Amino acid sequence: MNKKYVFIPLYRSFGFRYLQATEVIKKLSKNYKVILFVDFKKKNFFEDFFRDYDVILEDLKVDNLNFTNFPKFRNFVFFIKKFFNGKEKEYYNNCHNLWKIKFKDEMKSKKIVFLTNFCALLLNNSKFLRKLFFFLENRFDRKKFLTEYFDKYSPVLLITTSYGYDYDQFFIREAKNKKCKTVSIIYSWDNPTSKGYKSSNSDLYLVWNENMKKELIVFHDIEEKKIKISGIAHWDIFHQDIKNKNQIKNKFFKENNFNKDDKILLFFSSSPRDFNNAYEKIEKLCKIFIDNKNIKIIARMHPLYMNKKLCKKYCGKSNDFFEERLTTKYQGTLIFKNPKIIEYGDKMDEVIYPIDDINNLKKLYSSASILLNEYSTTLLEGIIYDLPIINVAIGNYRNTNLPIKIYSYHHHLKRLENYKAVFECENYDSLESKIKEILNGNDKSKLNRKKLFDQELSNFKGEASEKIVQEIFKFEAI
């Protein structure tokens, strides 16, 4: 019997990583003939990567979808959508004010500022106007070149890794036109709040938890009946292996010649574009604890630090310079365990993580006493491993005079404040005090971490990937 066709556009590196790490594509290919849309400029990479998968590759034709080729008015439509969402009384998207800082260069003109604020005011407060805006965008913004693919394969299903923005919107509109069902898998905790108002409507949305479900309903005017909770697939591997935490820790300590009484301070940086003083923070930690031989500092830099050009742009010198200087100066105290990545394109974010890097993460989380980070998604991974977590909010945001703490006003981070499960330190004195307090056994966040875990991370733990696939099978069969 011939298999039915399923379309999956793979232009977004995070979405690609999510689907490959969770084996969703491999599982779907057992029941369907999966058509993957990729950038054919990187065709050799994708052919090699998917050589053991039963899939067909088609050209994404990225030049046809490139937003930079659009008229100025169309780009303004994309821009203005960053500043409005639906809202309910005290429940609104905290990100909007941050975008005015992030896009300060685009908003230098008083006319742009006025027009943006005026449009946002109207659309934030009127569901009717949002529906009208959405209707007009979908009516006049179609990309006909996708028609040939839908005519060629007549797919029964389109699967995207967003709620409907970027290139996904063009696939979803064409799918609607061809009576093809659409499923959106939300791959990241900040997507419903940080990417702007939806640009298309899918038939089914698979989300992490109740909070993400509410964000789609309120912020994007999506019907509740279209949303299913399916858990967080890319963390299945952590949930499945956490029972081996002690064995993993013992092996890691032995590999690195640590003593059984050593305490690991695990520092995970965020992007240098937002936080460019990570190496300063690492050195300060080393200075504070250099006389305590039982404290080891392990630093894992964001993948963008591995890009020498970008690191020099924001930090002055390459990551190699900083790391060689610091490890030499603080030998015996500091170790770098940077991510292993596979680059597959020219863009800085076109990377994937091999499975051995996931195993390295398990070692680090299993062995750490405290997780220090810069508002990264890794704090949720730390919650899975029940680690005390400190956001190191020291310095300024994006080369402005504004404090880094302003980053916490992202909606997904603001929500976490209610749990009181993560500490926040805005200077080195408070950071030192909090670390010593926790190491001395005074961790006041443990019960709050449990509450956060139960409400945000416990859905289908270890089985989310299978849940996603089963929901797709069930939906397509209706």
Q: What pLDDT is attached to residue 183?
A: 97
374 residue type, one letter: E
- The full length of the chain comes to 478
Instruction: Check: CB of residue 392 under 8 Å from CB of residue 427.
Output: no
Q: What pLDDT is attached to residue 221?
A: 97
Six token digits for residue 324: 């060689």
CATH of domain 237-457: 3.40.50.2000
Crossing angle (nearest 10°) for helices 72-80 and 110-124: 50
CATH 3.40.50.2000 region(s) of the chain? 1-232+461-478, 237-457
Per-residue CA distances from 280 to 100, 325, 326 (Å): 28, 12, 10
Q: Residue 225 gets which letter from DSSP?
A: G
Per-residue CA distances from 332 to 257, 269, 295, 337 (Å): 10, 21, 10, 14
Q: What pLDDT is attached to residue 70?
A: 55
Burial 205-227 (b: 16+ CB within 10 A, else e): bbbbbeebbbbbbbbbbbeeeeb
Q: pTM for the full model? A: 0.93
Range list of β-strands (E), 115-248: 157-160, 181-185, 204-207, 227-229
Q: What pLDDT is attached to residue 17?
A: 81
What superfamily does domain 1-232+461-478 belong to in CATH?
A: Glycogen Phosphorylase B; (3.40.50.2000)
| HSE-up (13 A, CA, CB side) for residue 274 | 20
Q: How far apart are CA 217 and CA 135, in angstroms?
A: 18
Q: What pLDDT is attached to residue 328?
A: 96
* Sign of the torsion formed by the C-alpha atoms of 468, 460, 219 and 196: negative
Measured in whole angstroms, the distance separating CA 466 from the mean position of its chain's CA atoms is: 21
* Sign of the torsion formed by the C-alpha atoms of 340, 344, 348 and 351: negative
Q: What pLDDT is attached to residue 72?
A: 66
Q: What pLDDT is attached to residue 469?
A: 93
Q: What pLDDT is attached to residue 478?
A: 80
Q: How far apart are CA 282 and CA 121, in angstroms?
A: 43
Q: What pLDDT is attached to residue 1?
A: 58
Nearest to 52 by CA among 15, 12, 82, 25: 25
Q: How far apart are CA 410 and CA 426, in angstroms?
A: 17
Six token digits for residue 317: 């010198």
pLDDT along the chain (478 residues), means of 10: 89 84 87 93 91 92 66 74 91 86 79 87 95 89 83 96 89 94 94 92 97 96 97 93 95 95 96 91 96 96 89 93 96 94 78 82 96 94 97 87 87 90 96 96 94 95 94 92
